[in-house]
Amino acid sequence: MRTRPRPRRLASRPWTLPVLAAAAVAAGLLTAVPHGPAARGGPDGAAADGAAGRLAAAGAPQGKARPDARGVVLAVHGGAGTALRRDETSPEREKAYRDGLADAVRAGKKVLDRGGDSVSAVEAAVRSLEDNPLFNAGKGAVFTADAGHELDASVMRGSDLAAGAVAGVRHVRNPVSAARLVMEKTPHVLLSGEGADDFAAAHGLEPVTQDYYWTQARWDALMAAKKKSGGARSAATLADEQAKGTVGAVARDEKRDLAAATSTGGLTNKLSGRVGDSPVVGAGTYAKNSTVAASATGDGEVFLRGAATATISNLMEFGGKDVASAAYEVLVERLPKLGGDGGVIALDRKGTFDAPHSSEGMLHAYLTEDGTIVTKIFPDETPPNT
Ligand code: ASP
């Protein structure tokens, strides 16, 4: 999985200036950088409707928690947020999302089938999603307010609570592998910025220039965010417009050890230097054998403030809740009160799996013990937990 060592430091975003200048001249938009992220797209950054009333929207979970599936060995998500809608989604687009999620599940399955551990399985699954430009991680990551890309990722091992993460990397093709290296090769948990980029390159991960991450859809999403940020908008509107599409994976291996990983480009139009929940253990990612492997996606600031995934684990450990009730309580009952929405994939050691979300949509897929792969991309495939 690791690729050729090229430890030289790459210049930081040299390409962005001419592109930015051209865009500024053409659109006169860049004077309007907001104090927070301002553009929310669909799963791949396409223009989105407002998300008002999303808790009541079709597919938003309501009522009592109930597991999505049992006998699950691996699951992935491709982000929460504005939903893909059946009536607006072409068969090709639907297939591309289902294939992307299923490919990631298959990449993780391959590892588990040959006796690999859950950490290797979640890393493989997340790498597959990072390499897929449809998702907001690795290639296809969203743009910061100054038209760059800064990526966050983390991984956690449930058997001993080992964890590793990187934040704000700009030159790593697969940030989840950098996170794993931090976990396995350093005494630290979280490396950030240039130090993390250099560390990854020095350990043989493939370095990339910023233009590697570029996609038209994410560029359009940034431009749309710049345009919108010209007018006065409430914090709630800003939050509604934030792009999601983060990816993550959870797995249990033949020893029943759990692992979780998450990777993201963050939020469209985020300030340079902003770090979300995805690389923070206990917020975006958590794994503990006795409770849960969880990977979250949503409004990062709220997931940080709500210690989202650690709270799921704590509700199970100290509150006696099962995985579905604990995940539901955090995602649907607690986090919206802090002003944010999103979703989580949560798996326990017995293979009980749930994917509750307070956002309108939540792309995910899972693999059961009998080898079946299930993909869910439309809200009516993730029905209320009644
Ligand atoms: N949670 C991520 C962040 O705030 C965004 C996402 O889930 O799409 O950086």
How many angstroms is it from 246 CA to the middle of ligand 1?
A: 6
- The DSSP code sequence of 348-368 is -TT--EE--BSSSEEEEEEEE
Distance from chain centroid for Cα 193: 19
Q: Higher confidence at residue 117 or residue 386?
A: 117
Residue-wise pLDDT for 60-93, tens only, equals 444 457 899 999 999 999 998 777 888 888 899 9
In the beta sheet, which residues pair with residue 191?
Answer: 166
Burial label, 8 (beta-carbon count in 10 A; 0-12, 13-18, 19+): exposed
Q: Is 164 in the pocket of ligand 1 (CB under 6 A)?
A: no
Distance (Å) of CA 330 to CA 51, 204, 311, 350: 20, 38, 7, 21
pLDDT at 181: 98
Most trustworthy range by pLDDT among 45-49, 219-223, 291-295 = 291-295
How many angstroms is it from 254 CA to the middle of ligand 1?
A: 31
> Once rounded to an integer, what is the mean pLDDT over residues 314-332?
97
Of the residues 82, 246, 264, 297, which is catalytic?
246
Q: Is 276 in the pocket of ligand 1 (CB under 6 A)?
A: yes
Q: How many CB atoms neighbour CB 262 within 10 A?
A: 38
pLDDT at 206: 94
Instruction: Label residue 316 by pLDDT band (50, 70, 90).
Output: very high
Of 136, 163, 129, nearest in space to 152 by CA = 136
Kindly state the percentage of the chain with pLDDT values over 90: 71
* Residue type at position 257: D
Is the pLDDT at 301 greater than 70? The verdict is: yes
Q: How far apart are CA 237 and CA 245, in angstroms?
A: 18
Residue-wise pLDDT for 358-368, tens only, equals 998 899 999 99
Is the pLDDT at 23 greater than 70? The verdict is: no
What are the structural domains of the chain? 47-381 (3.60.20.30)
User: Tokens 């792309």 — which residue?
Assistant: 363
| Dihedral angle computed from the Cα positions of residues 106, 110, 116 and 117, in that order, rounded to the nearest 10 degrees | 0
> Once rounded to an integer, what is the mean pLDDT over residues 240-262?
87
Q: Is 279 in the pocket of ligand 1 (CB under 6 A)?
A: no
Indicate if 246 belongs to the active site. yes
